[in-house]
Chain A
Amino acid sequence: MASTSVFQQLLQLTRDEKTFIFMYPEYATAIKESKEAAYVETRRRFGRNGQNDYSDAFRHCFWSALLSRDIGYAAALRFTTAHESSPTNDPAEREMDLHNNAVGLKIGRAKGSNQILSHRCMAALNARQLKVIEE
């Protein structure tokens, strides 16, 4: 993100994410770009980036779809799971995020442009295939 240095971003990673980046530094750029694209697209569609709501569900789906397309399903599954791995992550929130990541990973596996992946995640949300804690 524009306001934090790369060093600060590295410090924020979970232990499992750091392990992943250490093993596969070539994916660091794709991971950073997919995160930023997910924030921007969520903001465009919902006007905000919330927590535990529809915008959160969409963001996780779209982020995972982008990663699955760009670094492959297996690597994307490993990283998105690592993102939820910290012991202080609330179990209900972790479950919601992992579910929405799983939907996105499958969507991204079928490839397509950012616009198509975004549309498919919105379709999944509208079909109630994505989980939310707060409606």
Chain B
Amino acid sequence: MRLLVWVLLLVCVLSGCSAEPVEAQAKKLGSREFTTRAWKAGTQEERGQMVASFLAKFKATELTAAQVRILLGPSTGYYDYDEYPAYLVGPDTVRSEYGNGYLWVFLTDKDNGKVRQVILVPSIPDKQA
């Protein structure tokens, strides 16, 4: 029984497919320049327009969760672990279990707090409705 479960898990792992890179997804939200000041003053939609600029200015995987919070402030959303900075961005017409908007998440290494990967949930489709 346990072997069967492991085989099924392996099939799930191998069938997992990766989404478009987050940088390419973010460009679909807009090209407003990111500054910490503009981010703090921005609406959720305006913040979404700054995501691509942020990712161009900073190599996310060289940041820690603490540095992300200094740049972007406290999380405005939640994704699975308290350790992950997470921000709702973009149009609030987008709906998921995480809230209204896209959830921009910095997945971090749980031993040292360094960012390992950045994702948008849900993934941004080619053409927004």
Q: Which A residues lie at the B interface, using CB under 8 A?
A: 1-8, 10, 12, 14-15, 25-26, 28, 35-36, 39-40, 43, 47-52, 56, 83, 86-90, 93-94, 97
Contact = CB atoms under 8 A, between A and B. Distances in A.
B78 A56 contact: yes
Given A28-B5, A89-B83, A3 B122 contact: yes
B98 A49 contact: yes
Contacts of A93: 82
Contact of A51 (B78, B100, B109, B119): B78
A111 B73 CA distance: 40
Nearest to B3: A25
B97 interface: yes
Contact of B75 (A12, A35, A51): A51
B119 A4 contact: yes
A39 B109 CA distance: 23
A26 B2 contact: yes
Q: How large is the interface on B (under 10, 10 to 19, 20 to 34, 35 or more residues)?
A: 35 or more
B21 interface: no
Interface of B: 1-2, 5-6, 9, 12-13, 15-19, 65, 75, 77-78, 80-83, 86, 97-100, 107-113, 119-123
Interface of B is mostly: loop
A28 B86 CA distance: 25
A14 B97 contact: no
Given A56-B78, A86-B81, A25 B2 contact: yes
Contacts of B80: 12, 35
Contacts of B123: 3
A117 B110 CA distance: 31
A15 B109 CA distance: 11
B97 A49 contact: yes
A73 B89 CA distance: 38
B17 to A, nearest CB: 7
Contacts of A39: 97-98
Contacts of B9: 6, 25, 28
B13 A88 contact: no
Given A6-B16, A26-B1, A49-B77, A90 B82 contact: yes
B77 A3 contact: no
A50 B78 contact: yes
B29 to A, nearest CB: 16
